[in-house]
């Protein structure tokens, strides 16, 4: 999942730290088991459609508020790529009754924190505050849900546009290998597919966004019927319910949201690409289109990633980095979005080892796995760490609030995290063999990133087509 946000923040750890459990066996019982995979919560829906999820836990005297809108870059219109994320920035510029700056003062300024992130599928806004500041957090979140446009003007839009362009410069254009995501998305999906562009969007489209775009987007997607509110931590549920009703109850319901059609894709043949970048070390990226959260195959694909790379005993890591000593690093993982997913492999060569050699070596390992499947021991090792990850996620009130919203927003059930855990734990060696066979086919993208002027360092350079960013197919502008 590609995700980008208001501030520089290390959210990866939060995203990875899935959350659950609270009712646990007495201390000293070895292994908490799947009974520990629990977050006590209650969920209800306001008449205006807002889903509310409350999870009280008084261990740490802080409270996290997460407001999750079911809108992301896949809802953007052609010619307006990057708009969902630009909009996220505008949500921090003040609203009808909350002057600019007060939000930060009532979060960071009292020892808390706030941020927002945008992915292809959803946009989420959150704060963690000392527990006596819950009411002001709900006041702020409800005001921007209900009254953002009261204080919107072109100057605000332009200011955030500049900042987002800076974000793109810093995070994409000025980073070695920074264009890889864009190139792979463009190559994997047809130009009309809503996952064919990246969350950050293009400079050109960011320039084109208008005040009317902001208003229309807000009215359609930022309505309570498209939103999920989670409160986790040290609070009194009865008081929280009263405040939620008071602050969010009168925000009007919006029109029903039509979700874009974004089915998983397959590639009929292999596409070989080479991109010249300001780097010193070449890299090979291989990407297979797979499936997203809606298809249970993503569990086995995630386990496949853990069987292939990570610890030194994982198959590709062992072969390429340890036994052959041809790669400095190799990583493979399934990235799951709501509708689609990709299985991605990245190889960094050691000097005197070509990308061609490494691609061949990696394919041999993958082919062997496809033919024999993983051992039961490999599966056991891949699954063993999940319980600890869940439990560590529970240490963060914000982590819990995010997990509950993701479960409710993507799966219609705030308790889905437990199903998710069980499905992952249920993956077998046969499942992994099956998905490796089904998805890791010749229908894939091979992208070599090479130092400028060193096209010959690509994997199979003669068969690889040079990528020119300005000539990448773009979604057709329809207005």
Instruction: Kindly list the distances between the CA atom of residue 68 and the CA atoms of 50, 95, 230, 455, in Å, as whole numbers in the listed order.
Output: 10, 18, 8, 44
Subset of 351-380 contacting another protein (CB under 8 A) = 351, 380
CB of 38 to another protein, least distance (A): 11
Site string for another protein, 135-154 (x = CB under 8 A): xx-xx---x---x-------
Considering only 93-101, 191-199, 439-447, 455-463, which stretch makes contact with another protein by CB under 8 A?
A: 93-101
Contact of 130 with 111, CB cutoff 8 Å: yes
Contact of 405 with 124, CB cutoff 8 Å: yes
Q: How many residues bind another protein (CB under 8 A)?
A: 116
How many Cα atoms are found within 13 Å in the side-chain-facing hemisphere of 146?
18
Q: State which residue, 141 or 446, has the beta carbon closest to another protein.
A: 141
Question: DSSP character for 159?
Answer: H
Binding another protein (rule: CB under 8 A), the pick from 65, 145, 391, 447 is: 391
Question: DSSP character for 91?
Answer: T
Binding another protein (rule: CB under 8 A), the pick from 108, 211, 295, 296 is: 108
Q: State which residue, 76 or 277, has the beta carbon closest to another protein.
A: 277
Q: State which residue, 28 or 453, has the beta carbon closest to another protein.
A: 28
101: which 2 tokens? 């700056």
- The number of beta carbons lying within 10 Å of the beta carbon of residue 42 is 12
CB of 270 to another protein, least distance (A): 27
In degrees rounded to 5, what are phi and psi of residue 290?
-130, -130
Strand order across the beta sheet in which 271-277 lies = 327-336, 341-349, 283-289, 445-451, 271-277, 465-466
411: which 2 tokens? 């799966």
Q: State which residue, 265 or 383, has the beta carbon closest to another protein.
A: 383
Binding another protein (rule: CB under 8 A), the pick from 24, 151, 370, 423 is: 24
CB of 111 to another protein, least distance (A): 3
Q: State which residue, 247 or 439, has the beta carbon closest to another protein.
A: 247
Give the residue carrying structure tokens 């002057």. 99
Give the residue carrying structure tokens 């797979």. 290
CB of 385 to another protein, least distance (A): 4
Q: How far apart are CA 52 and CA 292, in angstroms?
A: 25
Q: Is 102 helix (H, G, I), strand (E, B) or coil?
A: helix
Subset of 181-200 contacting another protein (CB under 8 A) = none
Q: State which residue, 112 or 475, has the beta carbon closest to another protein.
A: 112
Q: Is 255 helix (H, G, I), strand (E, B) or coil?
A: coil
Q: How far apart are CA 298 and CA 45, in angstroms?
A: 30
Q: Tell me: does residue 34 bind another protein (CB under 8 A).
A: no
Binding another protein (rule: CB under 8 A), the pick from 16, 40, 42, 105 is: 105
Site string for another protein, 119-138 (x = CB under 8 A): ---------x-xxxxxxx-x
Q: How far apart are CA 125 and CA 250, in angstroms?
A: 20
Considering only 72-80, 105-113, 364-372, 433-441, which stretch makes contact with another protein by CB under 8 A?
A: 105-113
Subset of 218-257 contacting another protein (CB under 8 A) = 225-226, 234, 238, 241-242, 245-247, 249-257
Subset of 39-58 contacting another protein (CB under 8 A) = 45-49, 51, 57
Subset of 428-457 contacting another protein (CB under 8 A) = none
Q: Tell me: does residue 15 bind another protein (CB under 8 A).
A: no
Residues in the chain, overall count? 479
Site string for another protein, 278-317 (x = CB under 8 A): xxxx-----------------------------xxx----
Q: Under 8 Å CB-to-CB from 320, ≥6 apart: which residues? A: 326, 327, 330, 347, 358, 361, 362, 365
268: which 2 tokens? 């009929």
Q: State which residue, 78 or 130, has the beta carbon closest to another protein.
A: 130
Tell which residue, 331, 297, 285, 290, has the closest CA to residue 311: 331
Subset of 261-280 contacting another protein (CB under 8 A) = 278-280
CB of 445 to another protein, least distance (A): 22
Considering only 80-88, 357-365, 409-417, 423-431, which stretch makes contact with another protein by CB under 8 A?
A: 409-417
Q: How far apart are CA 66 and CA 127, in angstroms?
A: 7
Q: How far apart are CA 363 and CA 365, in angstroms?
A: 5
CB of 33 to another protein, least distance (A): 9
Q: State which residue, 101 or 190, has the beta carbon closest to another protein.
A: 101
Binding another protein (rule: CB under 8 A), the pick from 76, 127, 141, 167 is: 167
Give the residue carrying structure tokens 């989670």. 230
């Amino acid at each position: 999942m590609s995700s980008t946000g208001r501030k520089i923040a290390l959210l990866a750890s939060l995203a990875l730290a899935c959350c659950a459990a609270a009712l646990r066996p007495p201390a000293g019982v070895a292994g908490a088991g799947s009974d520990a995979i629990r977050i006590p919560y209650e969920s209800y829906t306001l008449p205006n459609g807002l889903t509310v999820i409350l999870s009280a836990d008084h261990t740490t005297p802080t409270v996290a508020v997460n407001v999750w809108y079911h809108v992301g870059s896949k809802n953007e219109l052609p010619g307006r790529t990057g708009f969902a994320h630009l909009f996220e920035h505008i949500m921090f510029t003040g609203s009808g009754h909350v002057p600019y700056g007060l939000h930060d003062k009532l979060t960071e300024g009292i020892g808390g924190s706030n941020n927002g992130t945008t992915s292809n599928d959803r946009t989420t806004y959150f704060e963690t505050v000392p527990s006596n500041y819950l009411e002001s957090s709900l006041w702020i979140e409800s005001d921007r849900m209900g009254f953002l446009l009261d204080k919107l003007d072109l100057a605000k839009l332009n200011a955030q546009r500049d900042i987002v362009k800076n974000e793109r410069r810093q995070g994409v254009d000025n980073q070695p290998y920074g264009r890889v995501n864009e190139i792979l998305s463009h190559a994997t999906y047809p130009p009309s597919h809503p996952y064919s562009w990246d969350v950050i969007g293009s400079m050109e489209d960011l320039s084109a966004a208008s005040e009317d775009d902001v208003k229309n987007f807000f009215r359609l997607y930022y309505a309570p019927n498209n939103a999920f509110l989670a409160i986790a931590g040290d609070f009194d549920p009865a008081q929280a319910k009263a405040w939620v009703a008071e602050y969010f109850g009168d925000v009007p319901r919006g029109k029903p949201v039509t979700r874009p059609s974004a089915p998983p894709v397959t590639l009929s043949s292999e596409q070989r690409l080479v991109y010249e970048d300001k780097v010193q070390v070449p890299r090979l990226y291989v990407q297979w289109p797979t499936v997203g959260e809606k298809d249970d195959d993503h569990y086995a694909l995630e386990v496949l990633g853990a069987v292939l790379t990570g610890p030194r005993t994982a198959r590709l890591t062992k072969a390429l980095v340890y036994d052959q000593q041809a790669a400095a690093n190799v990583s493979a993982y399934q990235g799951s979005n709501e509708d689609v997913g990709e299985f991605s492999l990245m190889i960094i060569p050691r000097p005197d080892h070509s990308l061609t050699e490494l691609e061949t070596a990696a394919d041999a390992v993958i082919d062997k796995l496809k033919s024999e499947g993983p051992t039961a021991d490999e599966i056991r090792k891949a699954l063993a760490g999940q319980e600890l990850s869940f439990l560590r996620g529970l240490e963060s009130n914000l982590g819990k609030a995010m997990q509950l919203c993701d479960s409710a927003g993507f799966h219609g059930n705030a308790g889905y995290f437990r199903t998710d855990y069980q499905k992952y734990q249920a993956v077998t060696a046969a499942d992994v063999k099956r998905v490796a066979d089904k998805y890791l086919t010749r229908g894939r993208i091979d992208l070599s990133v090479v130092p400028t002027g060193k096209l010959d360092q690509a994997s199979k350079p003669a068969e690889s087509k040079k990528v020119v960013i300005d000539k990448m197919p773009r979604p057709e502008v329809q207005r």
